[in-house]
């Protein structure tokens, strides 16, 4: 019934993503494909909807169904029956506030709704990230100005298959200089999936890099999630170069998403340093996510 997501699934699943305008990072094919092995991601297709399943730390879950608003009832009927017939505890993850409003109205007093703050997406005003104007961005401008003053031969490039080996070599060089942890290794595998399947993903995916003295020192990967929101999947930079993160952050959006009104920079996973960094860019809102279980 459920099939493992592979690169061939893209042409099927993308048609259903076109039915929705969810603003959470989980709701695009690239995200699902990048992390398919970590979460054992599968999908089930019917004419009216697609259901995405996953597993993490021994718990089986569905995310929000890919379905137009008129057919949500059919998707929910399938979801409720599936958990009941398979004797599984119902868990729905990455559920947005709008979808909760629907469920509460259709199924009153049936579910628990748990706020998942660690997985809230950070959403920023695009123009603010592109210009860094205003008092609130003074520290970012200071780092950026220091970088531009210290380094002369700086170049932004849109990257493709001919450059991806440089990105992997850059990651490997950082891993050689520190104790390799599981998270970094997992992230490298996710990035490698994008690079190895770029010919299937390049209709949406953008990759950009910063070269200093003709050597790649930072790169970023993103795409448009909705008509006016860009989603940044990956941002990696040499931490020893002050201001480089601020520069790749700004230049990637300037060059690849200059018209995007909103920028989604994904979640902080409850990591203290990452939360502090994301808050320092002053998000204008969060894409709130919830976990739903049965009462």
Q: Does residue 277 fall inside a structural domain? A: no
- What's residue 173's pLDDT? 87
In a shared domain, residues 61 and 49 = yes
Of 120, 145, 164, at which residue does a domain stop?
120
In a shared domain, residues 71 and 194 = no
Average pLDDT over residues 29-49: 97
pLDDT digits (tens, 9 = 90+) for 223-252: 999 999 999 999 999 999 999 999 999 999
Q: Kindly report which listed range (95-99, 178-182, 281-285) carries the lowest average pLDDT score.
A: 178-182
Q: Does residue 42 fall inside a structural domain? A: yes
In a shared domain, residues 152 and 43 = no
Give the burial class of 169: count Cβ atoms within 10 A of its Cβ; 0-12 exposed, 13-18 middle, 19 or more buried: exposed
In a shared domain, residues 41 and 89 = yes
* Number of separate domains in the chain: 2
Give the burial class of 289: count Cβ atoms within 10 A of its Cβ; 0-12 exposed, 13-18 middle, 19 or more buried: buried
Q: Does residue 21 fall inside a structural domain? A: yes
In a shared domain, residues 78 and 19 = yes
DSSP the chain: --EE--GGGHHHHHHHHTT----STTSSHHHHHHTHHHHT-EEEE-SSEEEEEEEETTEEEE---EE-GGGHHHHHHHHHHHHHHTT---EEEEEEHHHHHHHHHHSTTSEEEEE-GGGPEEEEEHHHHHH--SGGGHHHHHHHHHHHHH-SSEEEEE--TTTHHHHHHHHHHHHHTS---HHHHHHHHHHHHHHHTHHHHTTT-EEEEEEETTEEEEEEEEEESSSSEEEEEEEEE-TTSTTHHHHHHHHHHHHH-TT-SEEE----TT-HHHHHHHHTT--SEEE-EEEEEE-
Report the distance separating Cα 50 and Cα 196, nearest Å: 26
86 pLDDT tier (thresholds 50, 70, 90): very high
In a shared domain, residues 148 and 254 = yes
- What's residue 178's pLDDT? 60
Q: Does residue 40 fall inside a structural domain? A: yes
186 pLDDT tier (thresholds 50, 70, 90): confident
> Taking 70 as the threshold, does the pLDDT of residue 217 lie above it?
yes
Report the distance separating Cα 111 and Cα 118, nearest Å: 21
- What's residue 185's pLDDT? 84
In a shared domain, residues 129 and 254 = yes
**CATH code, domain carrying 228:** 3.40.630.30
In a shared domain, residues 154 and 63 = no
- Domain carrying residue 100: 3-120
Residue with tokens 């448009």: 224
Mean pLDDT (the chain) is 95
pTM of the predicted protein model: 0.95
In a shared domain, residues 187 and 54 = no
In a shared domain, residues 132 and 204 = yes
In a shared domain, residues 132 and 100 = no
In a shared domain, residues 149 and 101 = no
Q: Does residue 44 fall inside a structural domain? A: yes
pLDDT digits (tens, 9 = 90+) for 247-265: 999 999 999 999 999 999 9
In 3D space, the residue among 119, 121, 123, 122 whose CA is nearest the CA of residue 270 turns out to be: 119
Q: Does residue 170 fall inside a structural domain? A: yes
Cβ pair 31, 38 in contact under 8 A: no
pLDDT digits (tens, 9 = 90+) for 121-161: 999 999 999 999 999 999 999 999 999 999 999 999 999 99
């Amino acid at each position: 019934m459920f099939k493992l997501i592979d690169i061939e699934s893209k042409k099927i699943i993308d048609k259903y993503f076109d039915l929705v305008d969810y603003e959470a990072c989980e709701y695009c094919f690239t995200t699902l494909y990048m992390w398919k092995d970590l979460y054992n991601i599968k999908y089930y297709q019917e004419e009216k909807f697609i259901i995405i399943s996953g597993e993490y730390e021994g718990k089986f879950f569905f995310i929000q169904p890919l379905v137009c608003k008129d057919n949500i009832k059919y998707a929910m009927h399938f979801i409720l029956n599936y958990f009941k017939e398979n004797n599984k505890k119902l868990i729905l993850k990455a559920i947005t506030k709008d979808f909760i409003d629907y469920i509460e109205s259709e199924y009153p007093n049936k579910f628990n709704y748990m706020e998942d703050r660690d997985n809230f997406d950070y959403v920023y005003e695009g123009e603010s990230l592109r210009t860094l104007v205003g008092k609130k961005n003074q520290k970012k401008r200071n780092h950026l100005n220091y970088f531009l003053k210290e380094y002369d031969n700086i170049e932004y490039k849109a990257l493709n298959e001919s450059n991806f080996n440089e990105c992997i070599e850059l990651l490997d060089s950082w891993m050689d200089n520190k104790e390799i942890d599981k998270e970094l290794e997992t992230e490298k595998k996710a990035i490698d999936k994008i690079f190895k399947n770029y010919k299937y993903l390049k209709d949406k995916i953008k990759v950009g890099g910063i070269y200093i003295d003709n050597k790649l020192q930072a790169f970023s990967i993103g795409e448009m999630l909705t008509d006016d929101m860009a989603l940044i999947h990956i941002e990696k930079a040499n931490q020893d170069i002050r201001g480089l993160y601020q520069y790749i952050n700004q230049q990637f959006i300037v060059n690849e998403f200059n018209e995007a009104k909103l920028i989604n920079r994904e979640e902080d996973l409850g990591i203290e340093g990452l939360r502090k960094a994301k808050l320092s860019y002053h998000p204008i809102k969060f894409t709130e996510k919830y976990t739903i279980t049965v009462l």
